[in-house]
Amino acid sequence: MRLATFRVGKTGILYDASSLCDADGTPQITPELFDPAHWRQHDRVLGEAPGRGVSLFLKAGNEAWVLRPYRRGGLVARLSPDRYLWSGAERSRAFREMRLTAQLHEQGLPVPHPVAARVTRHGLTYEAALITVRLPGARALADCLDEADDALLQRVGRTIRRFHDAGLDHVDLNARNLLVDPEANIWLIDLDRCRLRRPGRWQRANLTRLERSLHKQLPPDIASHATRQIQHGYG
């Protein structure tokens, strides 16, 4: 994977040049690829996922992509649902997530292939979006819990351990940011605001956050059992 930048007007795009350039090296990406209206106009929206900002599933040639806009949560969203304070493109949430995802992907860790990130400046603020390759047939762990056996839950724990060994502090580790593909492989998504760190208390904090997520999805006794199995796999 080779990341490169492309700028037009007030918009900057960080993209995977190894897959989004033609034979002579010309980038095959434009700002309109981040515009939901563009995809709807060409009837290439396959569906959408729920969330703070609606993510679209897109048909992109032989691949399916996920287009995810950045949206604020909490009380601040009432003032500005999709704008963030500008401090440079490289410090934007989109560029940082793109680079982190690419780094983990290059290490062979189970994250979606990042395609491109876009930031558009509006004076002192910016808005952003991210495109990744969709994982065919993958479902959120939250939607698989009723049928998840101990082997799957332990695989979740082992996967989290791999990321922790690589230093990834996932600040929103929950049952919807862990995906299960048709072969029962576990994937980690949504690395917004995540970072690489030295071992510390954050590892336990990640697991505690996931435990709270399980208790929201399951009856207490079943959630406790699932937590124990994940911890067993984590080691």
Catalytic residues: 172
Integer Cα distance of 25 and 27 in angstroms: 6
DSSP state of 90: G
DSSP three-state, residue 176: coil
* Residue 217 in tokens: 């999805």
| H or E segment to which residue 230 belongs | helix 220-234
For the chain, how many residues are written? 235
Integer Cα distance of 175 and 190 in angstroms: 12
Calculate Rg over the CA atoms of the chain: 18
DSSP state of 172: T
Q: Kindly report the number of other CB atoms within 10 A of residue 62's CB atom.
A: 5
Burial of 221 (0-12, 13-18, 19+ CB in 10 A): exposed
Q: Kind of pairing, strands 63-69 and 186-188?
A: unpaired
Kindly tell me the number of DSSP H helices and DSSP E strands found in the chain.
5, 13
